[in-house]
Chains A and B, each alone.
Chain A
């Protein structure tokens, strides 16, 4: 387990503030945040490349705050792979093994070979980093890090510099690494899909602070603040007042008019209502549906986004955004100015105190 307690670090131009994290053993933990949020610095501080000005870092019950990086047994992988350019693939992977006093050259060689086989990079053994593709380099970096059998692997935007196909492939490799070697993974990224696919839990980081920690479902559907909602792509934010609550379904009178039903414990008070655009279903008529919320509106904009279409509509004086597939757009024959019904379930509505 990694515990980061009230960590604080002030750089001239940037600061990490009051970071508290508890990362479980064997967990795939993703730190998600926009560029410049301080994610890399947090990771480098956990690794020991920087010492914090305040706070403590505990790993497996040991206070490592003042330990140098070489005594933390933490693997580190950078976005640009950071392979040693003067060493070939084999020597790169062997680097950490050679430093262990116990190991002999023979066992090291054997281990390097095993790792290269496992990552399917044996054919690259004698190549130098400059001659490898991005994906190959990242595999070597993974091999070099796992060679020392770290209990923790820190990954700083490991997939960001790769093309889409390589990215997908290496994402699976990372999962495989975690399963095979039982390593706690702490992965920093600004890519939400990556976070969603890989993470057991996610911490959202902004301006040097951890804003929310939770499961991917919680992060993407139940953000704690409007800022977080906006960051995870919840475009529909409405303000209102809870008027009634029947069996855990709150009736919210929205400021701009109309009522929305939401699964919520709140019985009264001012609230904010978040609805993900992909949770809104559009139709031309009110059909049979278990969805509690139906809003009529007029389409004010259609934006092609590849496989999806973003539909903007004006409804009862408030504006809603829906994401639908290209297929449904064609089936419905949607055009600007059309009147449509937007339906969404009470379970798709997330309510926070506003």
Chain B
């Protein structure tokens, strides 16, 4: 691969025409994201006192804490069930495999509000799962479990898909050799397959966690209360406008970015 470091001479420009063209095209997208987020931060700096107010408002802090921890819970559940599924899908060929893979990816395809309505139908007090759970005294809707359920549904494909690709990259022959050296299948998974796929699994978990925090529509329908950050932001926006909702947004994405960068850094270091 050619690097674009250094100031290109005319010869270099000729040779790397396509890279330069593609770079400029690609920069449109990069600028799109950067300007949007950057603008929000910039405006907030102008209204620094608003940010301080938000950061010291217990309602705001609680909403952010709910989002972060419920997303973590959702990711842990997705990990616990998703990693085994991902390994199975990576290693086994069987009839109907594409159907299973398709089902896992459904949440990526459907509008989130539709997912919210579907989830509500199943988890409400008279729903397929909601009713029996209610008999056990567990209420899903408008409660913490509801937030987790909505987040899990919307974010699980990210973890399963990324982990599956990670497992596929681990050569089955490494597992064969480990077995021949006396390791049981379980031990081989623990000591060879899982550690080698771990960077991908972590990537999937980070994506899944990020997706869970940002989930709005499905959470809105399933559990408006206890109020989580995106819903609080929306509420403030519709009631009081941009000025009221922006500081919470800046706080939320700042926390997300810090955690995100930290995890990526840890992942790099492991490699």
Contacts and interface: CB of A to CB of B under 8 A. Distances in A.
Interface bracket on A:
20 to 34
A214 interface: no
Nearest to A156: B173
A85 B182 contact: no
Contact of B180 (A75, A86, A100): A75
B164 to A, nearest CB: 20
A149 to B, nearest CB: 11
B184 to A, nearest CB: 6
Name B's interface SS. Answer: helix
Interface string A77-97: 010101011100000000110
Given A82-B171, A86-B196, A68 B177 contact: no
A49 B192 CA distance: 16
A302 B192 CA distance: 55
B243 interface: no
B176 interface: yes
B179 A84 contact: no
A72 B182 CA distance: 8
Interface bracket on B:
10 to 19
Nearest to A74: B180
A69 B176 contact: yes
A134 interface: no
B206 to A, nearest CB: 20
Nearest to B185: A68
Given A82-B174, A84-B192, A86-B195, A96 B179 contact: no
Interface in A187-242: none
Given A82-B173, A82-B174, A99-B187, A72 B180 contact: yes
B196 A69 contact: no
A69 B173 contact: no
A99 B191 CA distance: 11
Contact of B184 (A44, A70, A84): A70
Nearest to B180: A76
A82 B179 contact: no
B182 A148 contact: yes
Contacts of B185: 68, 70
A99 B179 contact: no
Contacts of A74: 180
Contacts of A99: 181-183, 187
A48 B182 contact: no
A299 to B, nearest CB: 50
Nearest to A153: B180
Contact of A70 (B173, B179, B196): B179
Residue of B182, B185, B192, B195 most packed against chain A (CB within 10 A): B182
Nearest to B192: A84
B244 interface: no
B178 interface: yes
A322 B192 CA distance: 53
16 contacts: A47-B176, A48-B179, A69-B180, A70-B180, A70-B185, A72-B180, A73-B182, A74-B180, A82-B173, A85-B196, A95-B178, A95-B181, A96-B183, A99-B181, A99-B182, A99-B187
Interface of B: 171, 173-174, 176-185, 187, 191-192, 195-196
